Amino acid sequence: MTTLLISDLHLDPARPEITRLFGEFVDGEARGADALYILGDLFEAWVGDDDPSETGAFVAERLAALAGSGVPVYFMHGNRDFLLGTGYAQRAGMTLLEDPTVIDLHGRRALLMHGDTLCTDDVAYQQFRAQTRDPAWQRQFLAQPLAARQAFAQQARAASQARQGELRDAGKMETITDVAPAAVDAAFHAHDVDLLIHGHTHRPAVHALDVDGHACTRVVLGDWYEQGSVLRVDATGVRLASL
């Protein structure tokens, strides 16, 4: 059996073709998997489980059907959908995972992360992350009317795009928004693993690393902006491919 891992789908009504591709993947290949792990940013934005979007309803229906067929579905929050709650998770048949989480992946200890906490050089983002992960901030935000929350999400997206433009103009985009090697090494040490799987950076690759004399592997999952991306893992190893 094969375990499937995906992240950074950024599903959004503006890109219905990617939502359809995700539906085909869930109804097709995923039905033959032993588990599906979604490591964050399933949605472009998530402002609360009361959002009546058609995209959210479609995804919940397809994932619930997958889980109902006997394939466990696991979800880890990303930086775009960290407000996804237990209500939606139950509706979609998903089990919520802490970030980070260590699992047994075909006999190998694997560390799963969304990946944003590894980007420690992006100080401004880490400060924003700390604020928005605060339970008090989240309670206050979710108490606002849906329209206000949606407006905040649009403003945050525009601010993020503007900042990325500034980083590109300054020639710092590649370094600031990528993982910090020291943070990666620390993650391997802290969790006593030799396999790390994460998303967030949109730089899909399988990296062979030497961490204090130990052979380690870091797999970066791809995004779903232009195509699908999936990591397939079984007893023979890891295979990262586009759909």
- Which of helix, strand or coil describes residue 90? helix
Task: Provide the 10 A C-beta neighbour count for residue 180.
Answer: 15
How much of the chain, in percent, has pLDDT values that exceed 70? Answer: 95
pLDDT value of residue 184: 96
At 159 the pLDDT is 79
Question: 40-69 burial string, b = 16+ CB within 10 Å, else e?
Answer: bbbbbbbbbbebebebbebbbebbbbbbee
Amino acid 164: pLDDT: 73
**Would you list which residues are annotated within the binding site for substrate?**
79-80, 122, 160, 169, 172, 200
Residues flagged as binding site for Mn(2+): 8, 10, 41, 79, 114, 200, 202
Q: Which top CATH class is 3-242?
A: alpha beta
Task: Specify the pLDDT at position 169.
Answer: 61
Quick: pLDDT tens for 55-93: 999 999 999 999 999 999 999 999 999 999 999 999 999
Across 124-143, average pLDDT: 95
Alpha carbon distance 7, 197 (integer Å): 10
92: three-class secondary structure by DSSP? helix
As annotated, the binding site includes 8, 10, 41, 79-80, 114, 122, 160, 169, 172, 200, 202
**Local confidence band at 45 (pLDDT 50, 70, 90 cut-offs):** very high
193 in Cβ contact with 106 (< 8 Å)? no
pLDDT in tens, 195-207: 999 999 999 999 9
Q: How far apart are CA 56 and CA 51, in angstroms?
A: 8
pLDDT in tens, 142-174: 999 999 999 998 888 887 777 777 666 666 656
Q: What is the mean pLDDT of the chain?
A: 94
Nearest to 172 by CA among 107, 137, 113, 124: 124
Ranges 38-42, 163-167, 175-179: which has the least confidence = 163-167
CA 236 centroid distance within chain:
24
Total-model pTM: 0.94
In angstroms, the first-to-last Cα distance of the chain is 19
- Residues 34 and 2: beta-carbon distance below 8 Å: yes
Q: Which long-range contacts (CB under 8 A, 24 or more apart) does 173-179 make?
A: 175/121, 176/119, 176/121, 176/122, 177/119, 177/122, 177/201, 178/119, 178/121, 178/203, 179/115, 179/118, 179/119
